[in-house]
Amino acid sequence: MIQIQRLSKEFNNNLVLNELSLNVQTGQTCVIIGRSGCGKSVLLKHIVGLLRPDSGKVLVQGKEVASLKELELVALRAKISMVFQGGALFDSMDITKNVGFGLLEHTRMSQKEILERVEESLSLVGLGGIGNLMPSELSGGMKKRVALARAICIKPEIILYDEPTTGVDPISGDSINELIRSLHDKLQVTSLVVTHDMKSAYHIADKIAMMYKGKIILEGTPEQIRETTDPVVHQFINGLSKGPITEVVDTFK
Amino acid sequence: MFTLFFMDLGRKILSFMYFFGGLASLTAQTVYQTFKPPYKYGHIVEQCRKAGYDSLPIVSVVALFIGFIFALQFGYFMQRIGSEMYIASLVALAIVRELGPVVTALIVAGRVGAANPAELGSMQVTEQIDALETLATNPVKYLVVPRFVALSIMLPLLTLYANIIGILGSYLICVVKLGTTSSMYMNMTFSALFYKDLFTGLFKAWIFGMVIALVSCYEGFNVQGGAVGVGKATMRSVVFSFLMIIAADCFITALFYFIFP
Ligand SMILES: Nc1ncnc2c1ncn2[C@@H]1O[C@H](COP(=O)(O)OP(=O)(O)OP(=O)(O)O)[C@@H](O)[C@H]1O
Ligand SMILES: [Mg+2]
């Protein structure tokens, strides 16, 4: 379970998160939607403790992330995976080492078991047999899927996905959605997914939360979101350039 | 005009203090992580190869030429006063005490001091360092410790090697060109050198190795702003390494001068 309580974060006088609160139950898939640059990636980085809150708290499985000791944080991170927006593959290592990194560093599993697990994770994202390529030899979408394989390889209890389907072709995108669903259905993984793709949001979400101006302005089931009367959310999910959200539209004029 | 100047000066001093604060904190973390198990020998060996073994060609060439140059320069004066045989002693002392460690350190600072921030900096801007952390791996332990250990081992070894090559260069000039006999040259070299001279030289090299590793990794971790930032960090790393090597050299030389007169 992830509890975010009145979380605020500011970068050089730019208030990105403004007393944001959100709860994700264990086993739930929560999709976060919001404008580009509204602070979705920043929010995810607070959950794994890469950024420290200016005020407010993030509790993961009941523990406050920012106040954990080194060892507790390591233990927590062994249970959380994050798929970075840009993939963040280690470009000095081949794909097998990238995907198996967590297992190689932190478990006593044998080389053979690790290789099997790596191959299994890679085939789950439709990339079996590319283990000995280097990240620089892959396309952008393939890197994204390898990053996803790296995230699921350690069998985490919580996965944070930062735009897992952006830059991926529609067919692979759909299989990523299926993968997220099946992790949810079969393994009760708690997921927090950032996406701009409304179709996939409706497909995978138990709950959708819309972020706007540093807060969650609306959360609800996919049906509730689809039928919302909130003008901001309505404009966003339908992709309209006219409506209450105007900043970018103004700058384009 | 003046206020602007002082504001700028103030900002420079602040950023300088910030740099040393950050460097001190990285040093503390690195030393702590170095002694904390588990130990990753594989990464250390890899870095030893990159920093030490791969530096051998350039160190050889530079040390050899320095040997040539010093023999010729000293020869110019020593021949005038008819004391060619002391060239060997002078060159040995100059190289072992000063030139060997400093020149080797400057070469390594140019190679490794530029490679580290470029590599760590691009890892930083592509979020690979964040990814390491989320995979429950301490970036200092994983990235800085192998570089730190490798450089503090390899720089003294490289220095020792440069000393030998430098003296060899001077030997060639003296024996072939200035007519010193081979045994005479050897004699004058070994009678001039004490263990103390070798020890202070290698001690300096050890300090320089740690300085280069820490400065370059610190700059790599603190890259801001994409490719331009990586370039800036690389430049800063080389410049600060040079400065700190020279400053540390002066300090250590003075220290030893007063401790072991
Ligand atoms: N390390 C940082 N330093 C300064 N500002 C930052 C930093 N990280 C993020 N920001 C700022 O925080 C804001 C939110 O960034 P974030 O990356 O979270 O956006 P996002 O919602 O993920 O957008 P996108 O959908 O395009 O990925 C941006 O205005 C960005 O400039
Ligand atoms: Mg983002």
Q: Is residue A188 part of a domain?
A: no
What's CA A112's distance to the chain center, in Å? Answer: 29
At B178, is the pLDDT very low, low, confident or very high (cuts 50, 70, 90)? confident
Do B134 and A48 make contact, defined as CB atoms within 8 angstroms? yes
Q: Is residue B46 part of a domain?
A: no
Do the bridges between strand A29-34 and strand A207-212 make them parallel or antiparallel, or are there none, so unpaired?
parallel
Q: What is the mean pLDDT of residues B47-74?
A: 94
Instruction: Give the neighbor-by-neighbor strand order of the sheet with A29-34.
Output: A80-83, A158-162, A190-194, A29-34, A207-212, A215-220
What range does the domain containing B236 cover? Answer: 55-259
Contacts B136 to A, Cβ<8 Å: 73-74, 77-78, 102, 105-106
Of B128, B134, B136, nearest to A90 by CB-CB distance is B128
Q: Compute the mean pLDDT over every residue in chain A, rounded to the nearest whole number.
A: 90
Q: What's the structural domain count of chain A?
A: 1
Q: What's the structural domain count of chain B?
A: 1
Q: Locate A187 and state its tokens.
A: 């393994």
What range does the domain containing A90 cover? Answer: 80-155
Interface test with A, best of B32, B127, B135 (most A CBs within 10 A): B135
Q: Is residue A127 part of a domain?
A: yes
pLDDT in tens, A146-158: 999 999 999 999 9
Interface test with A, best of B50, B120, B127 (most A CBs within 10 A): B127
Taking the CA of residue A211 as reference, the ligand 1 atom at the shortest distance is 21
Q: What is the mean pLDDT of residues B14-29?
A: 92
Q: Cα dihedral angle (B185, B187, B188, B192), rounded to 10 degrees?
A: 140
Closest CA to B225 of B124, B119, B116: B124
pLDDT higher than threshold 70 for residue B181: yes
Do A74 and B136 make contact, defined as CB atoms within 8 angstroms? yes
Q: Is residue A139 part of a domain?
A: yes
Determine whether the shortest distance from the Cβ of A41 to ligand 1 is under 6 A: yes
What distance in angstroms lies between residue A43's CA and the mean position of ligand 1's atoms? Answer: 9
Q: Is residue B48 part of a domain?
A: no
Q: What's the CA gap between B76 and A148, in Å, rounded?
A: 69
Q: What's the CA gap between A39 and B12, in Å, rounded?
A: 32
Q: What's the CA gap between A196 and A53, in Å, rounded?
A: 25
pLDDT higher than threshold 80 for residue B37: yes
The complex scores an ipTM of 0.90
Please answer whether residues B253 and B197 qualify as being in contact, where contact means their C-beta atoms are separated by less than 8 angstroms: no
Please answer whether residues A55 and A8 qualify as being in contact, where contact means their C-beta atoms are separated by less than 8 angstroms: yes
pLDDT over 90 percentage in chain B = 73
What distance in angstroms lies between residue A170's CA and the mean position of ligand 2's atoms? Answer: 20
Residue A44 in contact with partner chain B when CB distance is under 8 A: no
Ligand 1 pocket, mutate which of A12, A20, A31, A40 (most atoms under 8 A from CB): A40
Per-residue pLDDT, A248: 56
Q: What is the mean pLDDT of residues B186-199?
A: 90
Q: Locate B98 and state its tokens.
A: 């000063």
Per-residue pLDDT, A247: 65
Q: Is residue B217 part of a domain?
A: yes
pLDDT in tens, B208-224: 999 999 999 999 999 98
Per-residue pLDDT, A250: 47
Q: Is residue A70 part of a domain?
A: no
Q: What's the CA gap between B155 and B58, in Å, rounded?
A: 14
Per-residue pLDDT, A73: 92
Determine whether the shortest distance from the Cβ of A195 to ligand 1 is under 6 A: no
Nearest CA to ligand 1 atom 24: A36
Determine whether the shortest distance from the Cβ of A90 to ligand 1 is under 6 A: no
Do B126 and A90 make contact, defined as CB atoms within 8 angstroms? no
pTM of the model: 0.90
pLDDT higher than threshold 90 for residue B78: no
Length of chain A: 253
pLDDT in tens, A55-95: 999 999 999 999 999 889 999 999 999 999 988 999 999 99
Residue B131 in contact with partner chain A when CB distance is under 8 A: yes
At B82, is the pLDDT very low, low, confident or very high (cuts 50, 70, 90)? confident
Q: What's the CA gap between B107 and A132, in Å, rounded?
A: 35
Q: Is residue B26 part of a domain?
A: no
Do A45 and B133 make contact, defined as CB atoms within 8 angstroms? no
Do A101 and B135 make contact, defined as CB atoms within 8 angstroms? yes
Do B136 and A45 make contact, defined as CB atoms within 8 angstroms? no
* Nearest ligand to residue B130 Cα: 1
Residue-by-residue DSSP string for B11-24: HHHHHHHHHHHHHH
Q: Locate B7 and state its tokens.
A: 């504001």
Contacts A155 to B, Cβ<8 Å: none
At B66, is the pLDDT very low, low, confident or very high (cuts 50, 70, 90)? very high
Q: Is residue A110 part of a domain?
A: yes
Q: How many CB pairs under 8 A join A and B?
A: 51
Do A77 and B136 make contact, defined as CB atoms within 8 angstroms? yes
pLDDT over 90 percentage in chain A = 66
Closest CA to A176 of A166, A189, A190: A166
pLDDT in tens, B122-137: 999 999 999 999 999 9
Residues of chain A under the 50 pLDDT cut: 249-253
Q: Compute the mean pLDDT over every residue in chain B, rounded to the nearest whole number.
A: 93
What's CA B83's distance to the chain center, in Å? Answer: 34
Per-residue pLDDT, B69: 94
